[in-house]
Structure 1
Amino acid sequence: MNPATIAFVGLGGNVGDAAATLREALSALDRLPDTRQLRASRLYRTPAWGRVEQADFVNAAVKLETRLDARGLLDALLEVERQFGRERDDAQLRWGPRTLDLDLLLFGEGAIDEPGLRVPHPHLHERAFALVPLVEIEPEVVIPGHGTARSALAAVAARGIEALP
């Protein structure tokens, strides 16, 4: 059995009742095999990023302890996305609307660069919508190559991001 590893996952969506979807997805993540949820952020309404002509997103982050390896956790995340109606394909608009997006932000303390799996998430240090909830649950977590989440957030604009009640 693999040793336990701390992983951070970003959640987002902007189709349908995104807040309800993220709450249900957090429960689904807590049921993953050999994985337990340690802490989840609040939900945040965030402006669309990349393709701005779409509805605002709801975003969150969760800290997990898992015995899955990074590829196994990523596969489990993709399966949860499918369960919530997300279909990833080449024809899908990049940064477009989605029911649920689960991104493996950090896995342990190292970096992974394999086909289809890059950790830390390649743009984590640039995206306030991912950093705000991450900083809420673990401000001093280190983003390899970029310093702490708190320092990364201080370097980006976080306008328009608000916690949901």
Structure 2
Amino acid sequence: MLCYIGLGSNLELPLERAIAARGALHANPSLELISVSSLYQSRPMGPQDQPDYLNAVIALETQLSALELLDVCQSIEQDQGRVRKQQRWGPRSLDLDILLYGQTSINNERLTIPHYGMHEREFVLLPLMEIAADLILPNGEQVCDLAQNIARNGLVKYLHPEQWLPA
């Protein structure tokens, strides 16, 4: 199954956390990395009294179920020091979100796919367009159309994919 993972970090050495998360996804024998976007710097959503984020999108192929993939992502987050808090859109050491799991729609207590906010987030759509411009979402919308019509809100390219390879 072709999946897309959104990566974000704005605490405790976000570049190093992004590199480590990319490395952990690549090292997992159940996952095959297909493509990685550039790393982008973005303003935080919600409370503005937090550092800017580094964001990227990673395409991967897996035979894992969506919930098994979620478990892998959450395990990587925990390994990177993620502590889940009640505060929505607050600062975090690492956030790995399953944006898309093929053309599957899932809505349960643990997981919503497609990711509920991806249509309104420049820090998801622009990196996603970079690696999958022709992608059509389960609702029929094309990623490039959504990305071309979204406000950039100060989003800037931070590093090209080859510049943030794992050590």
Which TM-score applies when normalising by structure 2?
0.90
RMSD across aligned positions (CA)? 1.2
Gaps of 5+ in 2: 160-167
The number of equivalent residue pairs is 159
- Match for residue 87 of structure 2? 93
Distance 1:150 1:85 in 2: 34
Equivalent in the alignment of 1:61: 57
Identity %: 36
1:32 Cα deviation from its structure 2 partner: 2.1
Aligned partners of 1:163 and 1:119: how far apart in 2? Answer: 26
Q: TM-score, normalised by structure 1?
A: 0.92
Q: Tell whether the 8 Å contact from 1:125 to 1:143 is kept in structure 2 after alignment.
A: no
Q: CA deviation at 1:8?
A: 0.2
- Give the 3-state SS of the residue equivalent to 1:151 in structure 2: helix
Unaligned stretches of 5+ in structure 1? none
Q: What residue is the counterpart of 1:103 in the other structure?
A: 97
| SS in structure 1 of the partner of residue 144 of structure 2 | helix
Q: Deviation per CA, 1:27-80, whole angstroms, max 9, x where unpaired? A: 101122321101101111111112222111000010000010101001110010
Secondary structure in structure 2 of the residue aligned to 1:143: coil
Which residue is 1:122 aligned to? 116
Partner of residue 42 from structure 1, selected from 30, 38, 45: 38
Counterpart CA distance in 1 for 2:140 and 2:83 is 31
CA distance in 1 between counterparts of 2:33 and 2:126 reads 19
Equivalent residues in 2 for 1:67-86, closer than 5 Å:
67-86=63-82
